[in-house]
Amino acid sequence: MAAQSRIPRSDVAVAPMTAEERKVILASSVGTVFEWYDFYLYGSLAVIIGAKFFSQFDESTRNIFALLAFAAGFLVRPFGALVFGRLGDLVGRKYTFLITILIMGASTFIVGLMPTSDQIGLLAPVVLIALRMAQGLALGGEYGGAATYVAEHAPHGRRGFYTSWIQTTATGGLFLSLLVILLTQAWTGSDFAVWGWRVPFLVSILLLGVSVWIRLQLSESPAFLKMKAEGTHSKAPLSEAFGQWKNAKVALLALLGLVAGQAVVWYTGQFYALFFLISVLKVDGFSANLMVAWSLLLGTGGFVLFGALSDRIGRKPIILGGCLLAAILYFPLFTLMTDYANPALAKAHETVKAVVIADPNDCSFQFNPTGTSTFTNSCDIAKGALARASVTYSFQPAPAGTIASIKIDGTTVPAYDVRKAGAQLKDVAAAFNKGLADALTAVGYPAASNPSVVKLAHPFDVFRVQPAVIVLILTVLVILVTMVYGPIAAALVELFPTRIRYTSMSLPYHIGNGWFGGLLPATAFAMIAQTGDIYYGLWYPIVIALITVVVGFFFVPETKDRDIFAADAVEAPHARPASAQI
């Protein structure tokens, strides 16, 4: 990649945002609001959507649909980055991310109008998956376009501050979706599962209308106009970005040295923390969501703070520092969260010894990101049951062919093999579950509803020691998120030349966040089930974050002083061109 000029810090004049600059940020951010609004809608309403569109079909068909829905949510986005990134580098930033938001908004709205499988049969889930695929592709192009557009409008020396506002909209999308769902549930009552679930999807048309209206008033990116006027635009962005090693290696370094760590810290601090509270620590969903919401409210300002700070001290120190701090703090923070969220469970972990006795060849790594895999061996049955009950345990190998059993202090509970149980499977499974529950209760493992578990009566019931400490822990996790996520857009934009910027930055971002980050909950649970340690899943984000620290420190350049308007020139003037003014 060609050298990029740098502008001395003394040349940078800090001035207040103009009205036009604020409009640019607002218009670019609404797409990210859409992204997280939709993400949270599907997550919160997954059970209802599954019942309306998938549950009427046989298990194999349901599994296919679940796999496709998962692919649309995570795996398809990098392909959208390629499609719309290429378009953005060929025809312009403004029109490309106008297209992406139209596709996203229309897809979300149409879901609210969709007939269910009761009404139109197999066509309903097929159309739903098609909409999800289209939306996944559009999302792949949205973030890169928004980040590129804002950065190319920002005054030099303030790109971190300007692009950090895009990052705050993730919280905005989460809050908006939660608010709409809660209000709709209060309005529709028992009818929410019948027809009320459609309302949050239909309401998205209002957000789409405002978004399109604002974006239609914007002008094209000044950097793109300058490049087109000079005739230096790329005629084949994909092959230039990824077919030439000098550019492809920068994308690879961006993925491993910046985005992968950012992604796992983001997903750990926002979504895995929520998963851990509900699924591992057995906190009810209402209380867990409220505490996470409070932490988002308290910590969101960190996005702008660290974005602005990165303009002064650099992108790398903040992003890599956030990754390193996360790797150091995750174990003590999650352990402290257990102590306060479910004290009885924490005590049981210290005092009760559980052992799985099984043939090692009977045990699988229970990785199940789509929820469609079934684990039928007796070892998997035993380990999965203990993991879901948040029981810590050790493993003792047994001779080949041994049916697994669980030893809890002096009690032994035999597991079962699904294939060998035959017609008695239902009775055998019920007996195993009852025997395990009785054995755990007898030695002091608490029920999920035990009174020591943190529980909020209302949104403002956080001003007690127990929930306040948990909110504080969650806020620290959010602050780590803001460290890595606040400056990431500016860092990615500055790494690549204008002619292939949209294409080049979008792909590593969506691979990192869609694959490294998106697979985190499923991977962490599989690691917990494999080892019998409720904290073992944290090694996944810790190892990825540390890899990013090492790769980023040694191989990723600092970019805060790059003149992105001269990104394609070997030598470039220090002054910002007149065409770059807003």
Tens digit of each residue's pLDDT (9 = 90 or more) over 81-128: 888 888 888 877 778 878 888 888 898 899 999 999 889 888 988 898
Under 8 Å between Cβ of 417 and 424: no
Helix residue spans in 92-197 (DSSP H)? 93-113, 117-120, 123-153, 159-188
Distance, in Å, from the CA atom of 488 to the CA atom of 494, rounded to the nearest integer, reads 10
Distance, in Å, from the CA atom of 524 to the CA atom of 539, rounded to the nearest integer, reads 8
| Model pLDDT, residue 105 | 87
Distance, in Å, from the CA atom of 8 to the CA atom of 11, rounded to the nearest integer, reads 6
N residues, the chain: 582
Which residue, chain included where needed, has tokens 């001269």? 566
Residue 226 phi, psi dihedral angles, 5° rounding: -60, -45
Residue spans of the domains in the chain: they are 18-340+458-580, 348-442
The fold of the 348-442 domain, in CATH, is: Glutaredoxin (3.40.30)
Helix residue spans in 342-450 (DSSP H)? 343-351, 378-388, 418-421, 425-442
Say if strands 354-358 and 405-408 run parallel, antiparallel, or are unpaired: antiparallel
Q: Which helix (H) or strand (E) holds 411?
A: strand 411-414
> How far is the CA of 309 from the CAs of 22, 106, 229, in angstroms?
19, 37, 34
> How far is the CA of 346 from the CAs of 170, 394, 525, in angstroms?
33, 17, 18
Distance, in Å, from the CA atom of 380 to the CA atom of 385, rounded to the nearest integer, reads 8
Name the 3-class secondary structure at 246.
helix
Under 8 Å between Cβ of 84 and 145: yes
Give ∠ CA 115-119-123 in degrees, rounded to 5: 70
Please list the pLDDT of the chain residue by residue as tens digits (582 residues): 444 444 444 344 456 667 777 777 877 777 778 777 877 787 778 778 888 888 777 766 766 776 677 667 677 888 888 888 888 888 777 788 788 888 888 988 999 999 998 898 889 888 988 888 888 888 888 777 788 888 888 888 889 999 998 888 877 787 788 788 888 988 998 899 899 999 999 998 988 888 888 778 777 777 777 777 776 666 677 777 787 888 889 999 999 999 999 999 999 998 899 889 988 999 998 899 889 889 988 998 999 999 999 999 999 999 999 999 999 999 999 999 999 999 999 999 999 999 999 999 988 888 877 666 778 899 999 999 999 899 999 999 999 999 999 999 889 999 999 888 888 889 999 999 999 999 999 998 998 888 999 999 988 999 999 999 999 999 999 999 999 999 999 999 999 887 888 788 888 988 888 888 878 888 888 898 889 999 999 999 999 999 999 999 999 999 998 877 754 433 333 334 333 333
According to DSSP, residue 571 is labeled S
Under 8 Å between Cβ of 325 and 262: no
Q: Which helix (H) or strand (E) holds 210?
A: helix 198-216
pLDDT tens by residue, 120-161 = 888 988 898 888 888 888 888 877 778 888 888 888 888 999
| Model pLDDT, residue 372 | 63
- The radius of gyration of the chain's CA atoms, rounded to the nearest angstrom, is 25
Under 8 Å between Cβ of 295 and 237: no
CATH of domain 18-340+458-580: 1.20.1250.20
**Structure tokens that stand for 350 in this block:** 């210290």
> How far is the CA of 314 from the CAs of 25, 342, 495, 557, 560, in angstroms?
21, 40, 13, 10, 6
Q: Work out the number of other CB atoms within 10 angstroms of the CB of residue 424.
A: 11
Q: Work out the number of other CB atoms within 10 angstroms of the CB of residue 370.
A: 15
Helix residue spans in 460-571 (DSSP H)? 465-485, 488-495, 501-511, 520-531, 539-555
**Structure tokens that stand for 204 in this block:** 């998205």
| Model pLDDT, residue 575 | 37
Using H for helix, E for strand and C for coil, what is the string for 183-198? HHHHHHHHHHHCCCCH
Distance, in Å, from the CA atom of 281 to the CA atom of 448, rounded to the nearest integer, reads 8
| Model pLDDT, residue 519 | 82
Q: Work out the number of other CB atoms within 10 angstroms of the CB of residue 508.
A: 27
**Structure tokens that stand for 131 in this block:** 């909409």
